[in-house]
Structure 1
Amino acid sequence: MHIPKTERLRRLLAKQLLQTDVNIDLIDLCRATLAMRAVVAEEGLILKGEESLAWAHFLQRTWRDLEGFYWNKIYAA
């Protein structure tokens, strides 16, 4: 998505959610780092699809990758 379109969407969502636009982050989860995916999984507000298979797969992948990261950090040193 292009930056102008993303910014328009962010402002529209902020208005609909009665928030300021600085409180809204739009994240491309397919390209997000593990740290960002973990923040989204733990703190993100899901607007649509919370019960979807795609969201379940995202959570499963994120937790699996986090487990692998910490396992490597502890045991692969």
Structure 2
Amino acid sequence: MSLEARLAPQEKLITMANQIARFMESKPHAEAREGLASHINDFWEPRMRRHLFEMLDAGGAGLRPLVLDAAPLIRRPGT
């Protein structure tokens, strides 16, 4: 069983967001921030973004700094 298959849903989202952040961190900060937000906006379904914002609203524990910096650019889904 893969590591992702064993992680809880919240941990999976943290892992996914951090993987995107690690990839983007090689770019200039503004470009990385926009690229991370754009990727999440384009490819994450509203339910995933809702859970991400729940984690961000609770302090963002475990998320890389770039994810926290990009949060204002990520579309918050309606409830």
TM range (shorter): 0.3 to 0.5
Structure-2-length-normalised TM-score = 0.36
Structure-1-length-normalised TM-score = 0.36
Greater Rg, structure 1 or structure 2?
1
